[in-house]
Structure 1
């Protein structure tokens, strides 16, 4: 992987925020003590080595976060009964009020030319109904790409970030615990040989130990926020923004409308 590809990852907002950041947050608790321990000994070599490693490492971390996020999404969709963009269009789903749901169905008919099933049709054949909802969602996503839908992109990034953070959470928690133990050793609160614990050292830790403990504790607490509920909520928020974007699309001409006369 060359440096231009590495830099392009940080230019693309979705790649940077939804994929790269979760991967970096996983290894951050371990990087902090490493930089404190080895950085001052040979800063030039550390910088060069860090640059070479980071180009491949960041790409790998982003790929791992994306892969784990996609696998988790399959499990979540099975647990939820569908993607939030599908759920929100179902007559039997209660997240949206009935007026908003009716408006979205009407706008899909007018702007996309897709007639969605009624409540009775959905009840009679839920599989066919979901197929129509998924088809409408895919078409709408294709029509709302670009700078004109920046808010929609932000919500999509937020959903991807939450999904990927939940996927890598077990690794992130383990990373924080390891970093916390390293911080205890650096601060002198934990001695390995012979094994001894002196928690009074935590009152006045050195800079390396204190910074390591602070980062590990902060990130450990932050991982608690990411769960199935938060990911589903972000999915619903994205779904709302997606179907609200129907208002900005032109009304699709009916096939039955007459063509204007040729001059």
Structure 2
């Protein structure tokens, strides 16, 4: 129970991992509770028990695991993380003035020498390695930022995990729609027939099931795609680099790890 409490308490875990998992299960949970909950209080108790025993944690873990796997494929398609791409001289997401400001601030406040355009062109892998290291260091120093930066990080994680759960979410919505049609008696199995007249009064359980399932299905199909994840990634990158002016030179260098020598 302590693990579940910490999971729900943490804003990133709750919004970026738990909610995508719950949205996948929602089209099936709604009819179960609406149709059988009042008549079978034991079912409601069992669902509550499963949630307390780790169902929420399991859903969050599945969303996180699928999200991480998806991120690997997205990064390969994009050619790097948005935070890395944005720092490249050859990329046009940031204007040249802002890019130069961020490069200068990283060199001055983090003590990391940034490659020039010529050095990046001559050795892109080495340049990317520096950009990745600078970004990791900046994230360490801004980890306590609980305002806009955290919100953008949550937005990126949420969109990534929602896209990762998209196939499961679509299947869940389709099952919810079918079940909603059945309990509304619009669709009947034996004998097979379709009675659209029952749409006029589907009942509370069927109406909620159909409404939620169709709304979520529309979101899965029309909104959550690679473009939305990429956009959120670049917005987070911009917010991260905007934190550079607020860093103190002494604090950032004091916390920097000492270089190791190899013999």
Smaller-chain TM-score bracket: over 0.9
The residue that corresponds to 2:79 in the other structure is 81
Q: Which residue of 1 aligns with 2:155?
A: 158
In the alignment, what sits opposite 1:111? Answer: 109
* 1:16 positional shift: 0.3
TM-score, normalization by structure 2: 0.92
Alignment of 1:138-153 (within 5 A): 138-146=136-144, 148-153=145-150
Query: Among 64, 67, 79, which residue is 1:66 paired with?
Result: 64
What is the aligned counterpart of 2:45 among 48, 55, 61?
A: 48
Corresponding residue SS for 2:193? strand
Q: CA deviation at 1:11?
A: 0.5
Q: Distance in 1 between matches of 2:231 and 2:2?
A: 36
Q: Which string of whole-angstrom CA distances, capped at 9 and with x for unpartnered residues, describes residues 88-141 of structure 1?
A: 000111111111111110110111011110111100000000000000001111
- With the length of structure 1 as denominator, give the TM-score of the two structures: 0.92
Partner of 2:258: none
Secondary structure of 1:7's counterpart equals helix
Q: What does residue 130 of structure 2 align with?
A: 132
Q: Distance in 2 between matches of 1:234 and 1:18?
A: 13
Match of 1:188 among 178, 185, 189: 185
RMSD between aligned alpha carbons?
1.3
**Cα separation, partners in 2 of 1:252 and 1:120, compared to 1, 3 Å:** farther
CA shift for structure 1 position 150: 2.3
User: Is the contact between residue 113 and residue 252 of structure 1 (CA under 8 Å) also seen in structure 2?
Assistant: no
Instruction: Find the counterpart in structure 2 of residue 219 from structure 1.
Output: 216
- Count how many residue pairs are aligned between Structure 1 and Structure 2: 250
* Alignment check: 8 A CA contact 2:33 2:44 kept: no
Query: How far apart in 2 are the matches of 1:31 and 1:47?
Result: 10
How far does residue 252 in structure 1 lie from its aligned partner after superposition? Answer: 4.8
* Correspondence for 1:229: 227
**How far has the Cα of 1:149 moved from its partner?**
4.3
| Cα deviation 1:173-217 (Å, max 9, x = unaligned) | 110000000011111110001111111211221111111111101
Structure 1: unaligned runs, 5 residues or longer = 256-263
Deviation at 1:219, TM superposition (A): 0.7
Alignment partners' CA distance in 2, 1:49 and 1:34: 12
